[in-house]
Structure 1
Amino acid sequence: MSLTLLQSFLFPPPPSFFITAMSVISFASLTYSGFLEARGKHLQYSKFSDSKSREIKVSSKTGMLILYTPAFLAGVASFALFPSEGLRFLLLSSALTIHFFKRDFEVLFIHKYSGTMVLHSVVAIFLCYFISTVTMIYAQHLTQGFPEPPIDLKYLGVALFLVGIIGNFYHHYLLSKLRGKGEKEYKIPKGGLFNLVICPHYLFEILGFVGVSFISQALYPFAFTLGTTFYLLGRSYATRNWYISKFQDFPKDVKAMIPFVF
């Protein structure tokens, strides 16, 4: 991709070593984590939680709230810290706040849990979400005073974000309906895009973050979104292999995350 093309839809990189370093670190660490997931070295949550591990654990519900709540509060705080930063900043902060509010809402009222989370995985994921949210907000703040990119993607970004968050919520809801009251065992998901891929909620999460990147049009959100994409590709690949190992009747034509492709 040529520099001229990048300049047509990205704000100029701010003179900030922190933002530049975080762009590289987020992309590299998330991509490497996705590679480890595909190789079988998982963050210890959901179906990959090791019940035999002697490490410190918390309940899955408590762990999930720890993951998402600080990032949600960072989004809320941004409205007070930067009250007059323009429409693009308002849309970005709103999208991030809504994203993590939805996560907390699902933890409290939608998801059904059957296990625990290893504390060090909770800390790692919480830091990733919180630091990335704060960095996106700060990176957007630093675009103040720069001319707008020639190609305006923010309204397309809002549309993609809404499709992503609605699709993600719908498939999380379908997952929650798999278990009856008191049931803890896993089942093969059905309905929606689960008939095509085993992790459609990941696909819609990526779409939501692409929307956030388009709203922002700053470098860091694109770096984070690309790294997240590689991480979720690795996690979905591992998830598909897990279902194949646990269920003899798992349909072989169901892909990991991208219908008909992967």
Structure 2
Amino acid sequence: MAELSDGVAIRTITFSLLSSPGLFFTFLTIHYIYRSYLFPYLQPSMSPAHIGVAIFALSFQITNGIAIGGWLGSYGPTTSSNWAKHDLSVYLGTAIWALGLGLNVWHDDILRSIRRRRGVVEKGSGEKVYEIPTGGLFEYVFFPHYFTEWVEWAGWWIVGGVACPPARIFLVNEIATMLPRALQGKRWYVSRFGEKKCEGKKAVVPGLI
């Protein structure tokens, strides 16, 4: 009989898309269906990306996939009874994940609306037009779509359990990668529009950063 590293037989694991490990896997998949397929399709325009960025992203996702697969298949909870101990965190994490995803999509759409308006103006004048986004959390920060994505991944981590290293490391990497971009982006807004128009707005976390 095939066994896992801790001696638990593979046949004892119950896996469906509505089980706790299934939700952990499904939430990750839903995010990347949106980010990889729907997001580019919905965008009015996109800036070109350097090949090095694409290679780094691919390498990270391969490593991340292996880590998540190892956690689900062996190193994390391996039976329905083990996952049942995390029922409360699964419910809480699911709510936080859904909130983060919904807010992330909403703020992405606000940015898409700006790109559409800008595209019309650029065609008419031949000049690039920039504006400070408004609406939703854009009233408080310049990059709420970053913050809401962190909320989404925090919920996903909670679904997997606070002791889930792949989810925890994923969230830390997201913040470490996106926070410097948000801080740099805020400096760009201030330099372009001035301190007065940017007054009171944080970079990414309302009231904090």
Q: Is TM-score (shorter-chain normalized) higher than 0.5?
A: yes
1:99-118 equivalences under 5 Å are 99-103=31-35, 104-109=37-42, 111-118=43-50
The CA distance in 1 between the partners of 2:180 and 2:49, in whole Å, is 20
Structure 1 residues 211, 176: closer, same or farther in 2, change over 3 A? same
Matching of residue 171 in structure 1 with residue 107 in structure 2: yes
User: Residue type of the partner of 2:55?
Assistant: V
Matched with 1:94 is: 26
User: Residue type of the partner of 2:73?
Assistant: H
Q: Structure 1, residues 55-77: CA drift from partner, whole Å, max 9, x if none?
A: xxxxxxxxxxxxxxxxxxxxxxx
Please identify runs of 4+ aligned residues in structure 1 that moved more than 6 A. none
The CA distance in 2 between the partners of 1:229 and 1:162, in whole Å, is 19
The CA distance in 1 between the partners of 2:168 and 2:47, in whole Å, is 34
Matched with 1:215 is: 159
User: Residue type of the partner of 1:173?
Assistant: D
Matched with 2:198 is: 251
The CA distance in 1 between the partners of 2:184 and 2:71, in whole Å, is 33
Matched with 2:125 is: none
User: Residue type of the partner of 1:194?
Assistant: F
**More helix per residue: 1 or 2?**
2
Rg comparison, structure with higher value:
2
Matched with 2:71 is: 139
Matched with 1:125 is: 57
Q: Structure 1, residues 27-84: CA drift from partner, whole Å, max 9, x if none?
A: xxxxxxxxxxxxxxxxxxxxxxxxxxxxxxxxxxxxxxxxxxxxxxxxxxxxxxxx95
Matched with 2:15 is: 85
Gaps of 5+ in 1: 1-13, 17-82
Structure 1 residues 207, 172: closer, same or farther in 2, change over 3 A? same
Gaps of 5+ in 2: 7-12, 123-127
Matched with 1:197 is: 141
Work out the number of aligned pairs and report it.
182
The CA distance in 2 between the partners of 1:148 and 1:114, in whole Å, is 41
Q: Structure 1, residues 90-126: CA drift from partner, whole Å, max 9, x if none?
A: 10111011101111201102x2325311111121123
TM-score by length of 2: 0.77
Calculate the aligned-residue CA RMSD, in Å: 2.5
The CA distance in 1 between the partners of 2:70 and 2:129, in whole Å, is 42
Structure 1 window deviating more from structure 2 (249-258 vs 148-157): it is: 148-157
The CA distance in 1 between the partners of 2:188 and 2:98, in whole Å, is 30
TM-score by length of 1: 0.62
Is the 8 Å Cα contact of residues 197 and 257 (structure 1) preserved in structure 2?
yes
Q: SS of the counterpart of 2:49? A: strand
User: Residue type of the partner of 1:245?
Assistant: S
Identify the structure with bigger relative contact order (alpha carbons < 8 Å, sequence gap 6+): 1
Is the 8 Å Cα contact of residues 92 and 216 (structure 1) preserved in structure 2?
yes
Matching of residue 224 in structure 1 with residue 170 in structure 2: yes
The CA distance in 2 between the partners of 1:207 and 1:114, in whole Å, is 24
